[in-house]
Structure 1
Amino acid sequence: MSTSEAFTFLEKDDKQPQLFDEFQKFNSGKATDIDVQITSALRAKYPELCVTSVPSSNCNLLQFVAAGYATAHLDKENESVLRWRGFVGPSHRVLKYNLGGSGHLADAIFFAKYNYEWNSHSFILYNVTIGYGKVQYVLTGPVGDETTYSNSAITDALLSSIGAWLTKEEPAIYVYDGFWRRDAKLWESVEKSSWDDVILDPKMKKALKEVTGKFFDSKDIYDEFGVPWKRGLIFHGPVGNGKTISLKALMRTLYHRDSPVVSLYVKSAPYSYNIRAVFQMARSMTPCLLIFEDIDTVVTQATRSYFFNEVDGLENNDGILMIATTNHLDQLDPGLSKRPSRFDRLYLFPRPNKDERALYAEYWRQKLKNKPAIEFPKKLTTSIAEITDDFSFAYLKEAFVATLLELARNRTMGDGSDDDGDDDGDDPLDKYELWKEFKAQVKVLRDEMGSSLSSADGLGVPDGTHGNAADYEEMIPLLADTSLRGNGGGSQPCREPSVAAPGFGFLDTRGAVDKSAPALSSLSSFSPLASKRAKYNDGVWEWGL
């Protein structure tokens, strides 16, 4: 393949072709197909170069830059830039814990030209917003027998490398919410999960740990009996009683098998074409765990027939284990809950009984045993179980986290352990600060029973928590310090990209790139690659068997 010798960039003093005037005209017309016109305009302005149009939702060239595998320089001297300028404030955590930082200015770029470099090859890149999406126009010179109307072998190599990078084997959960994306942050939450954190009836816990492993180890048995190698389970019960954390523990267990099983998580699929995309992906990733959160919102009157056809139809679903969750089994379509060939086993997650609440309190006692600022004797676990009757695990967690946050805030303000003689002797346990605050928080939560406090229950929330509970991981490091001072921890830093100032989404004035956008908005075109291995070889991502 040729390098940048195939064409040269002119000196900035020379007049270079500009596209912006035409872009402005195209967007000022009535009904137009701007992509056709931009492609034609680029071919007219750069007659010696191949023009390749690439949706950014498929292969995002600037995200490849942000990952450090290419460089891109915004060409502000030879082409206009269309962008929004705005202020990005500091995060809530920065403000809440006084960690410093006052925000910064940032750009949202809608039209820009970049000088792009990858693996010793040079490209011109136009990044243009059209409607609700972005299209990337990649220009480079033809090589060999290519013409300017041919596909460029160099551009194809770049796109192939990006494709291999996107489908490389690394821990992640595939999430569908209108499109497929690979969620590394959700995987981090899953990786922290453990069956030790799951408080359930021992028999049920044992059954849950065994059922998935037995399914994925039993292909030969299914084949011997001539039945499809597929199965469906339903987790049901009131919100906040262990469905989500059990799912996370299952996902982690399956990934760490000798033959890892990937997890696909469906948050929403309101239309038939969404359900089609879900099952197409699942079939390309088998064996896999396919999770439907709140399946009663996925399978509706409008989509039920299509969903059942995808499950029962002619297409091969071998190797797919479906797990659906619902808080309202009585409202579930009978075609789901009463059809063994679809979902053949139901697991009830009820509110915890007294013994399970005591076990959960003991779980927290062990979690806090290395925090010298918190006195938590074992006898408190029974008392905690007694005053939390009818509490779900979600409410119990909220009570513990709210208690710890309140203790931390009080001590930060300098009034942590002084009770001003409030201990009247009626409750001998009141000498424990944790117990006094826990009782207060339980009273608050009882007043809020039936409110929206426990309405969130799903993998979509990184910690599977809500309310004060979401602050726990940030606040708990402070509890180890009796002075309750310090930086309060922080998120793991991302590796800075080797890029001058390309940006996708918002580009801040400090040169940092916003990496929050998903690396892959649609995996459909790459699903055949998902079962292949990718490797980084001499500056190029490659895939193979």
Structure 2
Amino acid sequence: MAPQRDSDEPYIVITCEEAFAQEGRTASGDPLADPWAERASSTWVDPRTFGTRKLKELYPNHSVVAFANADVLSFPAAYVQPIHAPDMVSTVYFMPLARQMGRSTGMLLNSLRFGSFKVAWDKYDFILYVVKFLYGTFDNTEMYLLHEGPEEPSRALVMASGVWQNDLHEEIYVFDSGYWDKNHKLWVEVQKADWNDVILKDEFKVNLKKDVFGFFDSENMYKKLAIPWKRGIIMYGPPGNGKTISMKAIMKGCDAKGFYPLYVKSFRSWKGEEGAMVDVFEKARQLAPCVLILEDLDSLINDNNRSFFLNQLDGIESNDGLLVIGTTNHLDHIDPALSNRPSRFDRKYEFDDPDEEERKLYVQYWQGKLKNNKDISFPDSLANEIVDSTAKFSFAYLKEVFVSTLVLMAGFEEGDDKRDFADVIKGQIKALRKQLSAEPAGHTLHTTQRGVRAAVSPPDRSGQPDSRLANQGRIWEAGETFDRPRGSMLGGLPVPGMSRGNPDRRIDLRAIAVAAANSGRSYMF
């Protein structure tokens, strides 16, 4: 039998684990890359605290400011350059582009998860770290701004970028699905509106503009009278009679004068309609003096949310400087407590089917537009005949008379027997009259928008940079706006009242891709 070894006999265990670890480790160029990767792969409790403490350890001569919802990388006044590109971690997304942009493929977008950057702003230099990590159930983003010196310059940069990000840049605030977005497309559409294209009686237009723009000039008068500086206007009437184009002209004018238009599409929200109303009125009070647009008021306000809406409209909270404009096709569907009480909506404008005078104004408007077209004969006698034969036509029907006529005439090919403008337009009036007689009361025209689109070719934006992105020294995007809601623009608005990692926050990759393509740059977000 082999002798038993004394359990108390000393012995040494030799391993090569440390050597193997050192041999297999590849040193990164960035001092935080390895510690962050190690920590991000292990069990931890507070990654934000770890990041701050580790950076103070790695950069003992720098102040460290941690922040989350100001996107320094998209701030156009800051110049950004990656410090060590090989250590950057990102996820690539493919985004197809619209055919009208003249590109047949798409773009690759990079969602940044770890990166460090040199940032220059004002007279200061900074180091910026951007990290994204799983905290709880959702991805979170944290940023650290380092400056060799006191933290005041870093805080000033965060403030400046946050203010720029929250401001409007050829955009309009739009509230939909529980979120405020900054919408550039709507701003572009609004810029096309012109009061000269709003064919209404002069007295009507003058009074409407006076009630809107005069409100913002009357703050002192309201205060002298000791009454709240607020006003409500309802624009009502059957569809197709100028409410929308008048609203666009109002939004354009208010925006030009520095009074933000806020457009509400819906009160549907993950917070419920009451929660959405709180967000809407909080933003309106923050930006006042401003104009709050509630289109299709009878659809937005219902039996379940009416009381809460009325409380927001004229409750105990101040709405000074707030002009609320609502539109509706059915004034009788709105509760009298909302439409007839002066302190709520004290002015009403009816957009009814045009009378003879307004039809004449509209026909003369088209006469002016077509006067230089040598292929069209449009004498006053024909204009009078059109006015007489279009009684009970809405402005939408009147527009379709001219648009459909021009589309038909544009479709005549060389060699065809071209019909006279007068014959074509009379035929269109007859067809639309028949359609009008067959439709129920209050029904609007279905073909107007199709006719407009047929007559207007989409603009060629191929290779044209977005004017808002010109001369901007930015390549990457970061911050809480990584997970921006659907439809938001670059430098998106932080979601009010939202905690980090909310599951309803969504990212609009297409908006980023289009902006990147238009500016000829690559984007990380």
The question of a shared fold, defined as TM-score above 0.5 by the shorter chain, is answered with yes
Q: Distance in 2 between matches of 1:352 and 1:101?
A: 45
Matched, 1:268 2:273: no
- Mapped partners of 1:125, 1:251: distance in 2: 38
**Alpha-carbon spacing, 1:361–1:441, altered in 2? closer, same or farther (3 Å):** farther
* Structure-to-structure mapping, 1:314-333, within 5 angstroms: 314-333=316-335
Q: Does the C-alpha gap of structure 1 residues 81 and 283 become closer, same or farther in structure 2, counting only changes over 3 Å?
A: closer
- The equivalences for 1:176-195 within 5 A come to 176-177=175-176, 178-195=178-195
CA contact (8 A) 2:127 2:147 kept: no
Q: CA deviation at 1:241?
A: 1.1
Aligned to 2:68: 54
Q: 1:125 to 1:330 in 2, by over 3 A?
A: same
How much has 1:61 moved relative to structure 2? 3.1
Following superposition, the deviation at residue 236 of structure 1 comes to 0.9
Aligned in 2, Cα 1:292/1:446: closer, same or farther, shift over 3 Å?
A: same
Contact 1:174–1:264 at 8 Å: present in 2 too?
Answer: yes
Distance in 2 (alpha carbons) for counterparts of 1:127 and 1:292: 38
Q: d(CA) in 2 for partners of 1:469 and 1:504? A: 40
Whether the 8 Å CA contact 1:172–1:184 is kept in 2: the answer is yes
Change (3 A) 1:25 1:105: farther
In the TM superposition, residue 323 of structure 1 has moved relative to its aligned partner by 1.4
| TM-score normalised according to structure 2 size | 0.70
Distance 2:30 2:361 in 1: 75
Task: Give 1:460's aligned residue.
Answer: none
Quickly say closer, same or farther: Cα 1:128–1:239, change in 2 above 3 A: farther
Give the secondary-structure state (helix, strand or coil) at the position aligned to 2:303: coil
Shift of 1:142: 5.9
Q: How does 1:59-70 map to 2 (within 5 A)?
A: 59-64=70-75, 67=76, 69-70=78-79
> Do the aligned partners of 2:353 and 2:393 also contact (CA within 8 Å) in 1?
yes
Q: Distance in 1 between the 2:461 and 2:148 partners?
A: 56
Task: State the 1:242 CA deviation.
Answer: 0.9
Structure-to-structure mapping, 1:17-166, within 5 angstroms: 17=34, 19=36, 37-40=46-49, 42-43=51-52, 46=55, 47-48=57-58, 50=64, 52-55=66-69, 59-64=70-75, 67=76, 69-73=78-82, 77-84=86-93, 86-91=94-99, 93=100, 100-107=102-109, 109=111, 111-119=113-121, 120-126=125-131, 135-141=140-146, 143-144=148-149, 152-166=151-165
| Cα distance in 2 for residues equivalent to 1:434 and 1:201 | 28
1:158-180: CA deviations, max 9, x gaps?
A: 21121332356866543333333
Contact map agreement 1:74 1:502 (CA 8 A) in 2:
no
Map 1:198-347 to 2 at 5 A.
198-254=198-254, 260-270=258-268, 271-347=273-349
Structure showing greater Rg: 2
How far apart, in 1, do the equivalents of 2:310 and 2:231 lie? 14
Distance 1:76 1:143 in 2: 22
- What pairs with 1:449-464 in structure 2 (closer than 5 Å)? none
For residue 154 of structure 2, give the secondary structure of its aligned residue in structure 1.
helix
User: For the structure 1 residues 502 and 254, does the alpha-carbon distance in structure 2 shift closer, same or farther, using more than 3 Å as the test?
Assistant: closer
Separation of aligned partners in 2, 1:169 and 1:517:
10
Q: Deviations over 1:322-355 (max 9, x none)?
A: 2111112121122211222211222211122344
Match for residue 360 of structure 1?
362
**What amino acid is aligned across from residue 204 of structure 1 in structure 2?**
F
Once superposed, what is the RMSD of the aligned Cα atoms?
4.3
Identify the residue that residue 416 of structure 1 maps to in structure 2: 413
Secondary structure of the structure 2 residue equivalent to 1:107: strand
* Matches of 1:432 and 1:207, distance apart in 2: 36
Q: TM-score, normalised by structure 1?
A: 0.68
Q: How much has 1:90 moved relative to structure 2?
A: 3.1
SS at match of 1:105: strand
User: Which consecutive unaligned segments of at least 5 residues does structure 1 have?
Assistant: 1-9, 27-33, 95-99, 146-151, 424-429, 457-464, 478-486, 506-514, 526-545
Contact 2:28 2:34 (C-alpha < 8 Å) held by counterparts: no
Return the alpha-carbon distance in structure 1 between the equivalents of residues 30 and 314 of structure 2: 66
Find the aligned partners of 2:465 and 2:95 in 1 and give their Cα distance.
Answer: 24
Q: Deviations over 1:261-282 (max 9, x none)?
A: 4333222234222222222232
SS in structure 2 opposite 1:306? helix
Aligned with 1:175: secondary structure? Answer: strand
**Distance in 1 separating the partners of 2:404 and 2:463:** 20
CA distance in 2, matches of 1:266, 1:310: 15
Name the SS for the 2:323 alignment partner. Answer: strand
| More displaced stretch, 335-344 vs 41-50 | 41-50
- The answer to whether the 8 Å contact 1:18/1:79 transfers is no
Alpha-carbon spacing, 1:500–1:158, altered in 2? closer, same or farther (3 Å) = closer
Paired residues in the alignment total: 449
Tell me, in whole angstroms, the C-alpha distance in 2 between the residues paired with 1:473 and 1:130. 50
Q: Structure 1 residues 69 and 391, CA, compared in 2 at 3 Å: closer, same or farther?
A: farther
Alpha-carbon distance change, 87 to 523 in structure 1, aligned in 2, over 3 angstroms: closer
Q: Unaligned stretches of 5+ in structure 2?
A: 1-26, 480-486, 498-525
